[in-house]
Structure 1
Amino acid sequence: MSVYYSVLEVTPTNQDWIPTYVENSNRLVEKHGGKYIAKTSVHERLEGDRESPALRIIIQWPSRQAALDFMQDPEYAPHLAGRTAGSVSHHALLEGLDAQG
């Protein structure tokens, strides 16, 4: 079974949701077996010309299902709604293997 990684790019448009989101999402990530690999505003673009997000977050999951369970957890729903309403966010789920060979 492969590990999976959530890769998020987040730029807040208001700060109201952040304290509640951080406290609860940290707890829920752990509940679903996730582990933060990176959660930082310190990053640099090495290629491309699009605007960089304020934050980049990488979460390791023990399985694809664990990541989906986190995203679909009813406890997470109001915090996800707060983040998506109060930020420009992009979230991709990557399988932790080299599919190119």
Structure 2
Amino acid sequence: MPVYLIADVTVTDDAWVPDYAAKVHDIAARHGGRYLSRSGNIETIEGAPPGSTLIALIEFPSREAVAAFAADPDYAPFAEGRKAGSISNFHVIDDTDLAGGIPYLPKG
């Protein structure tokens, strides 16, 4: 079952950004990850704006694949740099419909 990693990031020190942006997508790809978006074009249509610098949406084949990506030793220095230079919130969601009313999604 596919899952989606939502990375909501507010950059506080951009020193880590160039290397992270250039290399982390390859590490994610080794674990089946595919970026669907990595954008700073955030428009709020309802509620309070998140104040984020960027939001990334990455599809993975499973929760195990996300965990393997997060635990990858090659990712560790990039994660440390990101954590030191940002406020980051990472969330994983699956492809289910909690209410069960969308016919093309599995009931959650």
Q: What is the deviation of 1:99?
A: 2.5
- Superposed CA RMSD in Å reads 1.1
The alignment of Structure 1 onto Structure 2 pairs a total of residues equal to: 100
Q: After the TM superposition, which segments of 4 or more aligned residues of structure 1 sit over 6 Å from their partners?
A: none
What amino acid maps onto 1:6 in structure 2? L
Aligned to 2:22: 23
Residues 1-101 of structure 1: pairs in structure 2 closer than 5 A: 2-101=1-100
* Gap regions ≥5 residues in structure 1: none
The percent of aligned pairs where both chains have the same amino acid is 34
Max Rg structure: 2
Q: Structure 1 length normalisation: TM-score?
A: 0.92
Counterpart contact for 1:45–1:52, Cα < 8 Å: no
Greater RCO between the two (CA within 8 Å, min separation 6)?
Answer: 1
* Gap regions ≥5 residues in structure 2: 101-108
What amino acid maps onto 2:30 in structure 1? K
